[in-house]
Amino acid sequence: MTIYHYNEDYILKANELISDYRYLKAKRVLEQLLEIDPDHGQAHNILGWIFHYPIEDYERASYHYQLSMQFAPRYPYSYRNYIYLLNELGRYYDAICMVKKSLSVMGIEKDIIYQQLGEAMEHLERYKEAIDAYKHGIRFSTCVDRISQLEQGIQRIRKKTRYLVSRPSIVTYWCTEFQSI
C-alpha cells in the first residue's frame, strides 16, 4: 500500500488510474484517502463517479455524491454528477431541485445543468419549460457541440409536440377497440 503525503496526491493518483481504466485500484486509493480524511468532498465525488459509471451501484454513487456536496458545498462537479444520476434514475423532481441548488455554485457548468433541467422537464412532458431550459443552456454555452445538443433537444420536443397534436391517444384507441370485441 502506497502512502501519499498530501491529499492531492491521492486525488491525482486516482484520476491517473481512472484514465487508465483501472477503476478498482482508483477506488482503493480513494478509500485510503477517506480513512485519513473522511470529510474529503472531492474524494467522495470521484468515488461516487466510480460507483455510478463503471460499477453501476447507484445507491452507493448517490451516497458519495451527497457526502461530497455536504463536505465540499462549493465543489461543482458533485452537483453535476448527482443531477446526471437523478435523471438516469427517473428522479426528475429531485433533479430539478438539485438544478436550482447547483446554479448558485461558482464554477458550475450552467450549459450542462440547463441541459439536464431540460431533459428532466422533457421526461415530465413539461415541454415549454424544457425548451426554455435548453435555450438557457445555449445562452451559457461556449461549446459548439453542446450548443448542437441543446438545439437537438429543442427540435426533438417540437417533433414530439407536432406528433402528439396530430395523433389520437393510443390508449384511447386500444380501449375503444377492446370495448367493441
pLDDT tens-place string over residues 86-136: 999 999 999 999 999 999 999 999 999 999 999 999 999 999 999 999 999
For position 170, what pLDDT does the model report?
52
Beta strand extents in 125-180 (DSSP E only): none
Domain count, the chain: 2
Do 35 and 93 sit in the same domain of this protein?
yes
For position 81, what pLDDT does the model report?
98
Do 15 and 99 sit in the same domain of this protein?
yes
Ranges of residues in the chain with a pLDDT under 50 are: 173-176, 178
Do 132 and 84 sit in the same domain of this protein?
no
For position 164, what pLDDT does the model report?
77
Residue after which a domain boundary falls, among 88, 108, 128: 108
Say what the pTM is: 0.87
For position 106, what pLDDT does the model report?
97
How far is the C-alpha of 16 from the C-alpha of 25, rounded, in Å?
10
Distances (CA, A) of 3 to 28, 32, 155, 178: 12, 8, 52, 69
Do 90 and 147 sit in the same domain of this protein?
no
Do 6 and 79 sit in the same domain of this protein?
yes
For position 2, what pLDDT does the model report?
67
For position 163, what pLDDT does the model report?
79
Domain with 171 in it: 111-181
CATH number of the domain encompassing residue 92: 1.25.40.10
How far is the C-alpha of 170 from the C-alpha of 181, rounded, in Å?
17
Do 117 and 89 sit in the same domain of this protein?
no
